[in-house]
A and B are shown apart, each in its own frame.
Chain A
Amino acid sequence: MQTKYLIIGNSAGGIGAAEAIRQVDKESALTIVSEEPYPAYSRPLISKYLAGERTFEEILFRPVNFYEQNNITLLPGKKVTHLELDAQTAWSEDGTQIAWDKLLLAVGGNPIFPKIKGSDKRGVFTFTNLDDAKAVDRFLGSARKAVVIGGGLIGISVTEALVKRGFDVVVVEMKHRILNTILDQRASLMAEEVLKQAGVEIVAGHTVVEINGRETAEGVTLDNGETMTCDLVLVAIGVSPRSELALDTKLEVNRGIVVDRHLATNHPDVYACGDVVEAYDFVYEDNRLIPIWPNAYIGGRIAGFNMAGIPTKYPGGTAMNSLNYFGIDIVSAGMPTAPNNDDYEVMSKQETSTYQKVILKDNFIAGMISVGNIEKSGIIFGLMRDKINVESFKQSLLADNFGLAFFPQALWRERLEAPPGLLLQSVPSIQTGEKTFVGE
């Protein structure tokens, strides 16, 4: 088959791109290939699915008629196995040949699966897609106790689902505290506290070296020799970019696929976005892996405009997470902890169940954390994203009544206007001839 636009991956990035393309080009053939046999669903919601709080229909990311309405050909349950970039062709496992003019790799990540003795036993799972959630669900039966390896976002997310299903859960985290890549020490401890109150046991500073049992997991052995029993094991130590398709091509791959500020790879007709790429981070001012949903969608949107011939520059993204596990609301963005040098200024405020922190570098916000009271976090994140010098009002950033009214007048006036196409205009284009897209 032949298509103008081929998108591999039917999730945040793929849908973001498809929607942008259809905003400017309603006619040309647009095809999405998906290894998963489903219409796009919200990946973070697989824990709600496992908890029994949401059905599959309730975690769909778009209405059922989305593909039809947008004139998109979805090829579900089809895995692309090979790319020929010079011939602009993709091949799928079942032998389908797809010729494309513009290609987007929105293929996401693979769960990292460490070499642990016994990890091939029944009852050992990863947790990154709907089929994982279904497999865990089928296995639960009379199981009572789970060990979750990894205290990051995915580990805590599946822990909550299992607790809601009545499980006893032990979280084994290699570093000294859970959620250590996105939170600072204090916020991690606050999260740990609510997990413990919910009955979760946390074993920090240790790893699992062996999964015990005959055919089925019956327990684990830790690196200190201690053993514990369990009925299932969840391996949730993170995802790594799924760059396999790029590997036998000339596409540049570092830790992830390398893209420029237009989400283009080093091949002029091939774009990439989401968990599989190293894209620009506006805090670190460098390309990094940032595996979060909003960045995948926004990256897809930028790629989509560029693929459809509207040159559009990515303002960049940064780590940004809003966690609500076990009833505590936590937001973090940018750097969770300031590097240990004089260039950084840290302001923080803690009360019994709330905590606010802002990290500044040369009066620009480089990181923020809010626990409990998170309503103002968007205003602070906006200042960070728009690279606004906060020197004149930084003393009020953590005030209870902080808000736009504390900004310099010109700035709050701008926020109160009809906002322009923020995403596409927030970075002034440096290259000449670059158009700025201002909506339909």
Chain B
Amino acid sequence: MKRVYVKEEACIGCGLCQVYCQLEHSQSKDLIKAFKKETPRPLPRVHVERNVEVSFPIQCRHCTEPWCVYSCLTGAMHKESISDEVVVDMEKCIGCWTCIVACPCGALSRDLDSKTVIKCDLCPGREIPACVINCPNEALVLSADEKRE
């Protein structure tokens, strides 16, 4: 299972991962339009946590035993059988947010316009997710290893 790992000692807390994630999930794929003109405004699926000198981005860990999947009331949140990714079916999601309470990482967020949960989808159609490619200090890596190092 591939997921995005952070080398937090390399993270400078700039938030560009968040910006590029947001751009990647926009309609226009144009930085200015995506942030200033698009409605609904595209939302990032990664967010940067900061506390004094510590910073690191958080996105879905695609857990082996995903609490979010086991807690989903509708069956929207599920594990893809081949890729092993944790995926949300937007058609089925009703925005009850039970998965948000279930996720110990706080990796899920609310899209209040569509009333569906949003999460890291590892950028379908891209070999390397946008957050990884655009990290200026190479703090993010896509890896299939079970550990970060």
Measuring CB to CB, which residues of chain A are less than 8 angstroms from any residue of chain B?
16, 42, 44-45, 48, 54, 58-62, 293-294, 297-298, 301, 320, 322, 324, 329, 331, 333, 374-379, 381-383, 385-386, 396, 401, 403-406, 409, 412-413, 415-424, 438-439
Which residues of chain A are near B91, meaning CB under 8 Å? 58
Q: List 29 interface pairs A-B (beta carbons < 8 Å), by A numbering.
A: A16-B70, A45-B74, A294-B70, A294-B102, A320-B71, A331-B101, A374-B97, A374-B110, A377-B100, A378-B104, A379-B104, A382-B103, A382-B104, A401-B50, A403-B49, A404-B49, A404-B58, A412-B54, A416-B6, A417-B61, A417-B147, A417-B148, A418-B146, A420-B64, A421-B64, A421-B65, A422-B63, A422-B65, A422-B104
B137 adjacent to chain A (CB < 8 Å): no
The total number of A-B Cβ pairs within 8 Å is 146
How many residues on the B side are at the interface (Cβ–Cβ under 8 A)? Answer: 44
Lowest 8 CB-CB distances: which A-B pairs, in order?
A: A382-B104, A294-B71, A405-B51, A405-B49, A378-B103, A403-B49, A423-B65, A379-B106
Which has the most chain B C-beta neighbours within 10 Å: A48, A322, A415?
Answer: A322
B8 adjacent to chain A (CB < 8 Å): yes
B136 adjacent to chain A (CB < 8 Å): no
B129 adjacent to chain A (CB < 8 Å): no
Measuring CB to CB, which residues of chain B are less than 8 angstroms from any residue of chain A?
1, 3, 5-6, 8, 49-51, 54-56, 58, 61, 63-65, 67, 70-71, 73-75, 91-92, 94-98, 100-110, 145-148
* Contact (Cβ within 8 A) B100 A422: no
B73 is contacted by which of A45, A60, A377, A378 (Cβ under 8 Å)?
A45
* Contact (Cβ within 8 A) A44 B96: yes
Q: List 17 other contacts, CB 8 Å, given A322-B98, A403-B58, A413-B8.
A: A44-B96, A320-B71, A324-B95, A331-B100, A374-B100, A375-B110, A396-B51, A404-B56, A404-B105, A405-B50, A417-B146, A418-B61, A419-B63, A421-B65, A422-B65, A422-B67, A439-B65
